[in-house]
Amino acid sequence: MRANSLRQLCNWLGRSSNGVPFTAAGEFQQPLCALRASLPGATIINRRHYHPNGDPPRILITGSLGQLGTGLAALLRKKYGDESVIMSDIVKPTKEIWQSGPYVFADILDFKCLQDIVVTYRIDWLVHFSALLSAIGEQNVPLAIRVNIEGMHNIMELSKQYGLRVFVPSTIGAFGPDSPRDITPNVCIQRPRTIYGVSKVHAELLGEYYHYKFGLDFRCLRFPGVISSDTQPGGGTTDYAVQIFHNAIAGEEFECYLKPNTRLPMMYIDDCLRALWEMLIAPTEKLKRRTYNVTAMSFTPAEVVAEVQKHFPNLKVSYRPDDRQQIADSWPQVLDDSEARNDWGWRHNHDLANMCDIMFARLRAAHANGVPVDAAVSMGQ
Ligand SMILES: NC(=O)C1=CN([C@@H]2O[C@H](COP(=O)(O)OP(=O)(O)OC[C@H]3O[C@@H](n4cnc5c(N)ncnc54)[C@H](O)[C@@H]3O)[C@@H](O)[C@H]2O)C=CC1
Ligand SMILES: CC(=O)[C@H](N)C(=O)O
C-alpha cells in the first residue's frame, strides 16, 4: 500500500500511520494492533514517537557543543533528519557544526530566547545538556547555581508551557559519601557534597515533581563518567579517563589527578547516547520511574593504564591527586542499573578492552586525516 493512501486511511480512522492515537505534543499511545492486522503485506515501521502525519519529532538540544551534545545531534539527525534537530549553545560553532544543520544561540538563563526557539522551530522534545560539571562547578559556585539550578527552572517552565517531552541527564555525582558506594541502587540516600551534585538532585526532584503535579513527560538518566574520542570533556572529575587516550596517542606522559585505586563507574559515548535515545522513546507504560541509573563498567586509573599500555607500552604515568580526589571518593564505585535493564531493556555494548580498541582506532583515524578532534564527529567520523 502506498504511503499516502495508508496515511489517508489512518486519518479516516483517526490514527497515525502506524496506528498510534495522538494525545499531546510528542506523546503517543499504544499502537492500534487491529489496524496493523487489517493491512496484510504493508510495511509498518515502528514510529510510535512520530507525529500522526508521519513527521519526525523536532528536538532542541541545549549546551549542544559540549562532550555529549555534538554526538547526540549527529545520532538524532541520522534518525530524524538534519532539520529536525536544533543544536544550541552560547558558544560560536565551528564551520562544520554550522553547516551540519540548524544551530542557534540559546542562553538557558534567558527564558524569552528559549520561548522564541521553541515556537519558531515547533519543538516537541528538549534535551537539556547545559551545565557546569563537577570540578569546574566547585571553581565558580555562583555561576554553577545560576546555570545548573536557575537554568533548570527555565527548562521546567518552558517544557510545561509548551507540552514538551524533556530529557535531563543526571550523574553519579548526584550521590554522596552517605550513599552506598558498592553497589549504589537507584533509590538510596544521596546528599552530594558538590554544587554539581546538589544541582542534579534538584533537577531530578524538580523534574519528578513537574511530572506528578503537571503531567510533564520528564525523563532522566544518571550517567557515569562518559568517555569519547570526538570532543574534549568539560571539566569533570572523570575527565582523566578521556585525557589518558589523547596523551597516549600524542606520545606524551600522563599525570593522573586521582589515586591509582580510585574506582568509578564509566561508559563509552556510544552506549551513553544510545541509552539516552532509548529512554527518550521508551513507551510511557514501561517507565516505572522517571530517573534511572545506567552504567557499563567500573574501573580504576591503574586498570585503564594497564589496558592503554597494551596499545602503548611506553606510556609513562605518574599520580598526583588533587581536589578531585575528594569528589571521586564521595561517588559510587559501582552503579546498580538493574531497574533500567528490567524496565526498558537497557544493555551496554562496550567494556574497557573493547572501548580502548575503538578509542584508539577513532583517534588514529582523526590524526591520520589531520582532523581536529572537535570537528571529527560533525564530519561523521
Ligand atoms: N560528560 C560526562 O561524563 C557526563 C555528563 N553528564 C551531564 O550531561 C550533560 C552534558 O555534559 P557534557 O556535554 O559533558 O558537558 P560540557 O561541559 O562538555 O558541555 C556543557 C555545555 O553547556 C554550555 N553552557 C554553559 N552555560 C550555558 C548557558 N548559560 N546557556 C546555554 N548553554 C550553556 C557550555 O557552553 C557547554 O557547551 C550535563 O548536564 C552533564 O551534567 C552527566 C554525567 C556524565
Ligand atoms: C560523571 C560526571 O557527571 C562528569 N563527568 C563529572 O565528572 O563531573
Ligand 1, atom 30: closest residue by C-alpha: 107
Atom of ligand 1 nearest to the CA of 233: 18
Among all residues, which ones are annotated catalytic?
A: 196
Distance (angstroms) between ligand 1 centre and the Cα of 301 equals 23
Q: Is 319 helix (H, G, I), strand (E, B) or coil?
A: strand
pLDDT in tens, 284-319: 999 999 999 999 999 999 999 999 999 999 999 999
Q: Flag whether 20 is in a domain.
A: no
Q: Flag whether 357 is in a domain.
A: yes
CA-closest candidate to residue 160, choices 115, 201, 196, 108:
115
What's the domain range around 216? 59-379
pLDDT in tens, 45-98: 457 778 878 899 999 999 999 999 999 999 999 999 999 999 999 999 999 999
Poorest-pLDDT segment among 34-43, 184-193, 239-248, 271-280: 34-43
CA-closest candidate to residue 323, choices 119, 135, 60:
135
Distance (angstroms) between ligand 1 centre and the Cα of 233 equals 9
Atom of ligand 2 nearest to the CA of 264: 1
Ligand whose nearest atom lies closest to the CA of 168: 1
* Half-sphere exposure at residue 380, Cβ-oriented, CA atoms within 13 angstroms: 5
pLDDT in tens, 310-342: 999 999 999 999 999 999 999 999 999 999 999
Summarize the confidence of residues 184-197 as an average pLDDT: 98
Q: Flag whether 46 is in a domain.
A: no
Q: Is the pLDDT reported for residue 348 higher than 90?
A: yes
Q: Flag whether 284 is in a domain.
A: yes
Supply the pTM of this predicted model: 0.88
Whether 223 lines ligand 1, by a CB cut-off of 6 Å, is: yes
Q: Flag whether 54 is in a domain.
A: no
If you ran DSSP here, which 8-state letter would residue 147 be given? Answer: I
* Half-sphere exposure at residue 274, Cβ-oriented, CA atoms within 13 angstroms: 14
Ligand 2, atom 1: closest residue by C-alpha: 225
Q: Flag whether 32 is in a domain.
A: no
Cβ count within 10 A of residue 40: 7
Summarize the confidence of residues 353-369 as an average pLDDT: 92
Ligand 2, atom 3: closest residue by C-alpha: 171
Q: Is 169 helix (H, G, I), strand (E, B) or coil?
A: coil
Cα–Cα distance list, 114 to 150, 160, 236 (Å): 14, 13, 26
How big is the chain by its Cα radius of gyration, in Å?
21
Domains in the chain, number = 1
Dihedral in degrees, nearest 10, Cα atoms 53, 55, 56, 60: -110
Q: Flag whether 266 is in a domain.
A: yes
Report the alpha-carbon distance of residue 341 to residue 272 in Å, rounded.
14
Report the alpha-carbon distance of residue 60 to residue 109 in Å, rounded.
16
Q: Flag whether 33 is in a domain.
A: no
CATH of the domain at 119: 3.40.50.720
Atom of ligand 2 nearest to the CA of 133: 8
